[in-house]
Structure 1
Amino acid sequence: MLALVAGSLASFRWSLLLLVIAVSVLQMYLPRVLDEPLQKATDKISASNRKYLQTLADWLNGIDTLRRYAVGEKFLSSIHADARELESAYVKQQKVDQELEYLNQAIYSLGNMLIFLLTAYLVARGQLEFGLIASVNDFSLYLFGSLMNIANYRGQLVASRGLQEKILDLRQPLTKAEEGGTAPATFSVKDLRLAFANGHEIKYPDIQVKPGEKVLLTGANGTGKSTLFKLLVGEAVASGGQISFFDQAGKRVTPDRTKIGYLPQEAILLPSSVMNNITMFDPDLESKAKASVADAQLAEAVDSWPQGLETSVDLAGDNLSGGQKQKVVLARAEVHDSQLLLIDEGTSAIDQAAGRKILDKLLQSKQTVVLIAHNLTKEERDLFDREIKLSA
């Protein structure tokens, strides 16, 4: 459009072309003064929305307790506060969007007015035919209208640029795994730290775990034991330092984090069959499921279920006990041949006898095992190769 208009106006009068170029440059670059406010407004919406959803998740997790004590108004007041913050963020974004649109519209109108006045002046001076006023006006309308749309769309893209980069960063570990990462057998951390929004920071000592080593990870609450596991599996991103992964031979590898066996404090299951929760929907692993179920001390429960491993996990009805859920996740780690196993109180809901059998089997395996536990006897603690104690 610019080339067409430029060629036509140059054939009419060079002064018209120079004015169009000047207004076009103004229309393309002046709206950029709003780039930073637009990006900040979009980031604010993202942060407010994340906070609102997290508040919902946190409160709804204890909805039964709220009902029992009839204190639902506390839940509502907290939700309303975050909802107002989110609404305010949307209002601010709309304000900046309108400022961008107003600025673009003002430049568009100014450009058309200047072109019309210059054309009229040239006609009055006898330097341009009267009939060209309509043609020049049409050219400017089409050109500046197109540039106005470009400036508006560009502003929207710039506003979401920071958010897009954050999303890509979050996806990066998964992308690496999909591109053929290696199942890690062990890891090391150096100068690792994680800073939180409230100013608190966790700093870790340098740690080197050998392949096949059985390590007990201890420390007071708040020293970052569970957070270390989340950093290793990619659920949290470090503020600084380095995490390195190695294979059985001690060679540094790019990790496939899906191959790390991770048992969090609360076992995470999906609303599908027990089989799918063990194999994670990989039919090639179904033949190994029964053996992993036996090793996880879950066979007796599976045999008692009418549908066996095809029993559906009812998250709302909670048809599996806490111990059974933990055993399912243990079976998942085994069936996926996890060479590195991270257990965060992962057997706390399992009865003592079954828990001891599971612990003995893990400690006799070739896997690298790092375990967080607080209820182990001295005899059980002595079964580990060593203990790493984190301090504040």
Structure 2
Amino acid sequence: MSIKGLLKTNIPQTILVLFLYLIYAIAGTLGTYLFKYSLNAITAKNLNSFIFWEIITMVTELATALLLPLATVAFTRQIQDYLHQIRKDIMHHYYNGDDEKISTMQNDLTNNLKILSTDFATPLITIFSGLLSITFSIGILFRMSWILILTTAVLAVITLSLPKLLEKKMSQANATVNQKNERLLNTIAHWLGGLQELRRYNAFARLNKKLKEASGEYVESNKKNMLYRSWSEIINGLGNSVAQLGMVLISGILFFNHTISFGDFGVAASFAFIIFEGIWNITDSLTRIKSTKILREETTKLRQARTLEIPTSAFGVIATNLVAKYDNGETITYPDFTIKPGQKVLLTGDSGTGKSTLFKLLLNKLTPANGQIIYFYLYKNGNPIKSPVQVGNLPQDPIVFPASIKDNITMFDSKIQENVQTAVNKVQLTNDLAKMPAGLETQVDLKNENLSGGQRQKVVLARSLIHDQPFVLMDEVTSAIDQTATEKILDNLLKTKLKTKQTILMIAHNFTPEMRAKFDQEIKLTAVRKEAAE
């Protein structure tokens, strides 16, 4: 987030905002200045003059009261338009980049932008409005006496230097709040994601402990941040009060020396309040803006455009001397294997033999500790793909979106809608849809889970079929589907005749010998593990 970016978001609206705040400052200054004539009328005991100037002053005050809400609404719209652009850029960044934790993305798209709105954008307009009021007020004071201007300048320099006392500590405290908020979101995602399992094993105590720890750290960081902010406001407030009293004292001396009139003395105190109130608001705003420096730098990096390199579809793979290593030092050694284009391969093995880890290696989500994985094109055996590789992936926990079943299958591509029914038939979803009044137009409700686990798996399988993916990894994709339907789905998957014959590597357990025989080959993993060296 930057000043330039905020102003350029909507230039006509920017001009309107600046104009409204300018008129607001002029009206406010004029109302204060004209009040001096009311005071002079009192000393002159001129009732008619007093009433006249009071009416004029009241009109300017009413104009001021109307202008501020209008200016505030216009500027709020400007901020929201800018935040929308930032949010869009961040989404492009994540879409074109590597996978990130959901909690990190949530923090970047919500809490961080809220902080930038309240501690960067809003203080900017406070500074602009304050500078206008201060400028006009100084102009009025200059007409009264140069001594008032000199006094104002000296006191202003002192007041403006006060925020630097806590500037660094506030910036660090703000960054800590951001980090602790991300950790809290991460903890919530990790633990509440398995809420049903925690209930099943009566593990509320551990859930409460973990959330309490993360929440406690976030609360403490907020307390520390507010402590520094409070001390900053106290210091700035004291400086502001002393400066105002100083101005009243000097203007009083000038009045008794007959340098200024009683009316000038009265409004001089008011202008002193406007000036030093403005300085206080500006210093507080500058402190808040500077506290967002780290966050603004991070947001700027997230907004930088990433070029999405179009991956090359793989049709086969060769793995040699492949070894995976965990953070605890434990390793898994895999057998060498080759999967040719169009082959249907079954991956089996006991729990803990590294089936899911192998998928992570093949999807480039985990870097091998040793060995290599070579993908190749169709009809080009052995010729490796050097550019990023595209491999389809169907995880055991199917990913669906809050849209219609049809859209979940087509992934919002209207060009392939005519093939939906064929895919639905092949994955045995037809009978399920017949029980739903809206059929394919049924909206997926993630909150209330209106689709069973098996139905979600069928939707994702249909999605894979209709998009004609050349090479797909399938992890227990029929685990929630009954055996009769599984056998029919398996027959259709293994007999697919797409534009290019689909290559499948499927993790499965409890398949019958007849079902295993349908595959071209079986890669059976055994427990070849090495514990971390002590």
TM score, norm. by length of structure 2: 0.49
**Structure 2: which amino acid aligns with 1:366?**
T
Partner of 1:107 in structure 2?
Answer: 239
1:286 Cα offset (Å): 2.7
Report Cα offsets for 1:174-215 as digits up to 9, x if no partner. x86xx9874752599xxxxxxx9xx7699999xxx9996879
1:266 Cα offset (Å): 0.5
1:36 matches 2:164:
no
Partner of 1:152 in structure 2?
Answer: 284
Secondary structure at the aligned position of 1:62 is classed as helix
Distance 1:165 1:346 in 2: 42
Decide whether aligned partners of structure 1 residues 56 and 318 sit closer, same or farther in structure 2, where only a CA change above 3 A counts. Answer: closer
Higher deviation after alignment, 125-134 or 9-18: 125-134
Q: What is the root-mean-square deviation in Å for CA atoms of aligned residues?
A: 5.5
Partner of 1:366 in structure 2?
Answer: 500
Matches within 5 A, 1:291-370: 291-299=422-430, 301-302=432-433, 308-311=439-442, 313=444, 320-338=451-469, 341-350=472-481, 351=483, 353-354=487-488, 356-357=490-491, 359-361=493-495, 366=500
1:83 Cα offset (Å): 4.3
Report Cα offsets for 1:215-246 as digits up to 9, x if no partner. 989994498556568876xxx9xxxxxxxx99
Structure 1 residue runs of 5 or longer lacking an equivalent are 189-195, 237-244
Secondary structure at the aligned position of 1:343 is classed as strand
Distance 1:166 1:108 in 2: 34
Secondary structure at the aligned position of 1:61 is classed as helix
**Structure 1: which amino acid aligns with 2:454?**
G
1:267 matches 2:412:
no
**Matching residue within 284, 287, 292 for 2:418:** 287
1:251 Cα offset (Å): 8.3
Partner of 1:242 in structure 2?
Answer: none
Partner of 2:229 in structure 1?
Answer: 97
Distance 2:291 2:274 in 1: 26
Distance 1:27 1:120 in 2: 24
TM score, norm. by length of structure 1: 0.63
Distance 2:158 2:377 in 1: 62
Partner of 2:151 in structure 1?
Answer: 16
Secondary structure at the aligned position of 2:474 is classed as strand
Structure 2 residue runs of 5 or longer lacking an equivalent are 1-130, 318-325, 367-374
Distance 2:165 2:496 in 1: 65
1:40 Cα offset (Å): 1.6
Whether the 8 Å contact between 2:152 and 2:247 is mirrored in structure 1 is no
Matches within 5 A, 1:116-195: 116=248, 119=250, 123=254, 129=260, 133-157=265-289, 159=291, 162=294, 182=310, 185-186=313-314
Which has the higher Rg, Structure 1 or Structure 2? Answer: 2
Decide whether aligned partners of structure 1 residues 32 and 316 sit closer, same or farther in structure 2, where only a CA change above 3 A counts. Answer: closer
Report Cα offsets for 1:113-148 as digits up to 9, x if no partner. 44445x369749969647555444433322332233
Between Structure 1 and Structure 2, how many residues are aligned?
Answer: 356
Whether the 8 Å contact between 2:254 and 2:260 is mirrored in structure 1 is yes
Higher deviation after alignment, 131-140 or 94-103: 131-140
Decide whether aligned partners of structure 1 residues 380 and 154 sit closer, same or farther in structure 2, where only a CA change above 3 A counts. Answer: farther
Distance 1:166 1:106 in 2: 34
**Structure 2: which amino acid aligns with 1:274?**
I
Distance 2:258 2:363 in 1: 75
Decide whether aligned partners of structure 1 residues 181 and 294 sit closer, same or farther in structure 2, where only a CA change above 3 A counts. Answer: farther
Q: Percent identity?
A: 23
Report Cα offsets for 1:338-365 as digits up to 9, x if no partner. 5664534434445452464355247977
1:51 matches 2:187:
yes
Distance 1:130 1:203 in 2: 89
Decide whether aligned partners of structure 1 residues 260 and 96 sit closer, same or farther in structure 2, where only a CA change above 3 A counts. Answer: farther
Whether the 8 Å contact between 1:49 and 1:86 is mirrored in structure 2 is no
* Richer in helix (by share): 2
Distance 2:529 2:415 in 1: 43
